[in-house]
Amino acid sequence: MNATPIAQLDNLHAFYRQSPGSITRKPHLRNYRAEILTAALQRWGRRDAQGREISVTEVNRLLSKSWFGHGYELFRARWYRAAARSFRLSLQHDPSRRGIYKFLLVGWLRRWQDRSPVLTSGR
């Protein structure tokens, strides 16, 4: 496995465009953003090269936001079972996000319309 350096940037440096037929519009079962953030935290901790430290609260907020965004993408694709997993992970990082419970409930009520691919073990 190759290691990719991660740099912290303070500004937005790129845009990309999505169209309805583009590959980036297809939902993914893996939350790559959360995986990268978690791997970086495990490898380097919460302190950057300049000595600035991000709080545990802020890390949890970022992870909760990432998992919610992932769940919302899956929810919109009607992958309700997969979305529920991401919503639950979001709540693990920040249980105070009450709006997520609404998506869990609606997904549960629509479970018979689920279009999730078969979930496999592992990632």
Q: Considering only residues 16 and 7, tell me which one the structure prediction assigns the higher pLDDT.
A: 7
pLDDT tens by residue, 12-64: 556 656 666 666 667 889 999 999 999 999 988 998 878 889 999 999 999 99
Confidence of residue 96 (pLDDT cuts 50, 70, 90): very high
Phi, psi for 47 (deg, rounded to 5): -110, 135
**Residues in CB range of 89: below 8 A, 6 or more apart:** 31, 34, 63, 67, 71
pLDDT score at 9: 65
Instruction: For each of the domains in the chain, give its residue range(s) and CATH number, in order of start.
Output: 30-111 (1.25.40)
Share above pLDDT 70 across residues of the chain, in percent, rounded to a whole number = 76
d(CA 77, CA 75): 5
* Tokens at 37, concatenated: 């953030």
